[in-house]
Structure 1
Amino acid sequence: MVNNVATVGRSGVHDFILLRASAVVLAAFVLFIAGFFAFTPEITFEIWHGLFANLAMKVFTLVSLFALLIHAWIGIWQVLSDYIKATFLRGVLQFVFSVTLLTYFVAGFLIVWGV
């Protein structure tokens, strides 16, 4: 059995499960937001603010954001490891994407919680 150092202890099954679980969370979030837009007759700032003032919505949004970042990270890692053969360039790109995803998560957290 070949042990790939770049996987950081993950296996293909682990990635598969994470991708499917994150896709389910993202689908649920998209369906919820689409349903909100479809069944709310008029969307004003007050209604939108009231939706996101709810603790459950804040948690659901952050879980969805985290699922999006997991999904993106695994996808980026797979694409980079398949198509970028130069180890240094792949490492630099993975670092750049990691910092970008972390920045998105921090920004999303600050926006949702209004800090």
Structure 2
Amino acid sequence: MINREVVGAHYGLRDWLVQRVTAVIMLVYTLGVLAFILLANGASFEAWQQLFAFTWVKVVTTVSLFALLWHAWVGIRDIWMDYLQHVGLRLTMHVLTLLWLAGSLVYMIKVVWGA
């Protein structure tokens, strides 16, 4: 009997599921925005302001943008793990990616919630 040591992060099923769920969230949000654009018939800035005056729109937008950032993290992390063999470079790229995504999250909250 051969003892085989399995290595790796074992993210497979969880990452696959995260990618699918976040993609569905983004798709539903995108279809909602497209429906607003088509039904608003040349919506003005004031119409967009009225739409985003509703708290539920801000919450749905925040959830969708958070899904986008999580989706991006899983995808980019997998790219770094698959294609960057040098551990130091891979760690640097992971940290830079996390910083970029964290900055995007802060900016997203500022834009959506006006904080």
| Cα shift at 1:42 | 3.0
Look up the SS of the partner of 1:53 in the other structure: coil
Report the counterpart of residue 15 of structure 2 in structure 1.
Answer: 15
- TM norm structure 1: 0.91
Look up the SS of the partner of 1:26 in the other structure: helix
Mark the runs of 5 or more structure 1 residues left unpaired by the alignment.
none
Report the Cα distance in structure 2 between the residues aligned to 1:104 and 1:43, rounded to whole angstroms: 27
Report the Cα distance in structure 1 between the residues aligned to 2:86 and 2:56, rounded to whole angstroms: 44
**Could you list the per-position Cα deviations for residues 69-107 of structure 1 after superposition, in whole angstroms to 9, with x for gaps in the alignment?**
110000001111111100000100110010000000110
| Cα shift at 1:41 | 1.8
Look up the SS of the partner of 2:104 in the other structure: helix
Report the counterpart of residue 2 of structure 1 in structure 2.
Answer: 6
**Structure 1: which 4+ aligned runs deviate by more than 4 Å?**
none
1:88 partner amino acid: G
The structure that has the greater radius of gyration is 2
1:42 aligned to 2:42? yes
Report the counterpart of residue 63 of structure 1 in structure 2.
Answer: 63
- TM norm structure 2: 0.91
Report the Cα distance in structure 2 between the residues aligned to 1:101 and 1:83, rounded to whole angstroms: 20
Look up the SS of the partner of 1:60 in the other structure: helix
**Could you list the per-position Cα deviations for residues 40-78 of structure 1 after superposition, in whole angstroms to 9, with x for gaps in the alignment?**
123111100011111111001100011001100000011
Q: Which moved more, 1:24-33 or 1:34-43?
A: 34-43
Report the counterpart of residue 96 of structure 1 in structure 2.
Answer: 96
Identity across matched positions, percent: 34
1:53 partner amino acid: A
2:106 partner amino acid: V
1:104 partner amino acid: S
